[in-house]
Amino acid sequence: MKKECIYTLKNQYRDDLNIYGYRFGRGEKAACIVGAIRGNEVQQLYICSQLVKSLKRLEEKGAIIGQNEILVIPSVNHSSMNISKRFWATDNTDINRMFPGYNAGETTQRIAAGLFDAIQGYSYGIQFPSFYLPGDFVPHVRMMETGFQSPSLANLFGMPYVVIRKPKPIDTTTLNYNWQIWNTNAFSLYTSATDYMDEASARQAVASVLRFLTRMGILRYTSHSGYLASVIREEDLTNVKTEYAGIYRRIASPGEEVHRGQVLAFVMDPMEGEVLGKILSPTDGIIFFAHKAPLVMEGTVIFKIIRRLHE
């Protein structure tokens, strides 16, 4: 293992932002893994730390095959993580909306440019991002539909689902999209948590990455075969919105099978404690995403449901 600083942002009032990478093996740029780009992505940081630990042990055993290099970058925005901010602390901008970056631009544009320069040229790019809605997911692999995506490769992670997302204009500045445009097979792995550690889904994520690297001939590693993934499109998910604002009490959880008319959650009056309304499932299916924050506003998407195939 070789630890090196891949980018430094000079800071006048605080310590410099140093982004560190951990290199394993040597030779061709085989795979790059990026963790926490946002300051609240504690789970993503933890997963990468466990990957560093595992890859270090595997490298010592000679398990990296041939001339292959693996680069792991556990954290990009730890300056914001240190003060519990999701986005860049000074101007509240999102580094993951700044790619491919601009080295003479605003601060987050320069960070994105410095990171992207360091991670270009890898055959496979794996990112652990977080969603814009606060909540929990069924673990899955997500890909942008750029024309370069490969669902068959995404299946090799052995995660329960592969989600294909048609990019919106704002998505064209994400790492996943730009990796694909610059000829890297890019995959975003979502687990069950963001701002706290979920051990079970973290172990599943680590195993899925090691499984993928093994199946691509980069690692020599023995693991169970994982899931035969179901490939779904994001626009085919059924969104469930609340008509009420108030305290949110969730009944159903991601991965749970639900039926049409089943109660998924309650919204309660924050002052009087009475139930304002019940949130009912509009279809039979499996919960893919569930809102987690204790308060909701009217019109908030609080569940995404995978409809049954016969519907």
Could you give the number of structural domains in the chain? 2
pLDDT tens-digit map of 87-110: 998 899 999 999 999 999 999 999
Q: Which of 213, 233, 253 is the last residue of a domain?
A: 233
44 and 135 share one domain: yes
Q: Which of 214, 233, 252 is the last residue of a domain?
A: 233
Q: Which of 212, 233, 254 is the last residue of a domain?
A: 233
- Is 219 in contact with 207 (CB distance < 8 Å)? no
| Token couple for 215 | 């199946």
In the chain, pLDDT over 70 holds for what percent of residues? 98
Residue 241 has pLDDT above 70, yes or no: yes
pTM: 0.92
Give the domain range for residue 227.
2-233
Rounded to whole angstroms, what are the CA distances from 201 to 198, 211, 237, 251?
A: 6, 15, 22, 20
Here the CATH number for the domain that contains residue 293 is: 2.40.50.100
- Is 302 in contact with 291 (CB distance < 8 Å)? yes
pLDDT tens-digit map of 45-104: 999 999 999 999 999 999 999 999 999 999 999 999 999 899 998 899 999 999 999 999
Rounded to whole angstroms, what are the CA distances from 295 to 42, 141, 162, 291?
A: 22, 28, 30, 10
Beta bridge partners of 29: 69
33 and 176 share one domain: yes
pLDDT at 12: 67
